[in-house]
Structure 1
Amino acid sequence: MSNTKVLPLLEPDVAPCCPPLTERPLTAEEAVRTAAMFKALGDPVRLRLFSSIASHEGGEACVCDISDVGVSQPTVSHHLKKLKEAGLLTSERRGTWVYYRVEPSVLAALGHILGRYAA
C-alpha cells in the first residue's frame, strides 16, 4: 500500500478538476486526480457498483439494493469505500442503511475530462 493521499476528483458544486484530455497536457496534480478516478473505475465490480448507483432512480441507491454483484458484503463495502475515496460517490446513513449517490457534477466531470466529439 502507498502512503499517497488520494485527492478527491470534485467537491460538491465545484467545477471539474481537469480540462478535456484533448485540450492541453494535464498538470501533475490534475493527472493524480484523474488517475485516482480511473483507477477506482478500473475494477469491474467497482464499475458495476458505480453504474448501478448512477442509473438508479434519482442517482441514489441503498447499499441493500446494489450488493448483488457476485462478491461478499465486506468486499462490496471495500469497493464502495474506494469509490468514495476517489471522489466518485457520497454516502448518507439513514437508520441502519447507507445510501450512496453519484453527484451530477461527477458525471459531468467524467464527460468533460474525456471530451465530447461531434459526429
Structure 2
Amino acid sequence: MSKLAQLAATASAPPCCPSLTDRELTDEEAEVTAAMFKALGDPVRLRLFSKVASHPEGEACVCDIADVGVSQPTVSHHLKKLREAGLLLSERRGTWVYYRLAPSVLAALSGLLTTRD
C-alpha cells in the first residue's frame, strides 16, 4: 500500500478534512486532499469515478465501466490511481474486479468545499 493510500485509510471519518473555512489544513490533510483532487483532475479518471458513483448497484464491475475511450491497460492504470488516492475500493471476484466509492468520500470532498457558518 502506498503512503498516500495509508494516509487516506487512516484519516478520521469522514476520510478527508474539515471545511477549508473552519481552519487551516494540516500537512497530512493537505497531502490527502491534494491527492484526491489530483486523481480527479484527469478526465478519464473523473469519468471512471462518475461511472462507479452512479452505478445502480453502488458498485461496478470493471467490465461495465471500461468504455471510456482508452485501452484496458490504461483503464486499469487510472483505476489504480483512484484507489491509491483513497477514492475507490476494489474487490476481486473470480476474474473480475468490482469497484465502489470509499465510505463517505463524496461527503468529505463536498464538506471540504462547503462554507460553515
TM-score, scaled relative to structure 1: 0.85
Deviates more, 1:40-49 or 1:54-63: 54-63
Q: Which amino acid aligns with 1:5?
A: K
Runs of 4+ in 1 over 2 A off after TM superposition: 7-17
Looking at structure 1, the residues matched to 21 and 115 of structure 2 have their Cα atoms a distance apart, in angstroms, of 10
Counterpart for residue 4 of structure 2: 6
Tell me the percent identity: 71
Contiguous gaps of at least 5 residues in structure 2: none
* Equivalences for residues 36-75 of structure 1 within 5 A: 36-75=35-74
Please state how far the C-alpha of 1:117 moved relative to its aligned partner: 7.5
Instruction: Tell me the matched-pair count.
Output: 115
Give, in whole Å, the separation in 1 of the partners of 2:12 and 2:96: 26
Matches within 5 A, 1:92-107: 92-107=91-106
Q: 1:35 and 1:12, CA in 2 relative to 1: closer, same or farther beyond 3 A?
A: closer
Give the drift of 1:11: 5.4
Counterpart of 1:34 in structure 2: which amino acid? T
Instruction: Give, in whole Å, the separation in 2 of the partners of 1:39 and 1:10.
Output: 17
**Secondary structure of the structure 1 residue equivalent to 2:110:** helix
Asked whether the equivalents of residues 59 and 101 of structure 1 are also in contact (C-alpha less than 8 Å), the reply is: yes
CA contact (8 A) 2:19 2:116 kept: no
8 Å contact kept, 2:14–2:107: no
State the AA in 1 paired with 2:19. P
CA distance in 2, matches of 1:107, 1:93: 23
Q: Deviations over 1:2-55 (max 9, x none)?
A: xx8324434598333311112112111111110000000000000000000000
TM, length-normalised to structure 2:
0.87
**Cα distance, 1:13–1:94 mapped onto 2, change above 3 Å:** farther
- Cα-Cα RMSD: 2.3
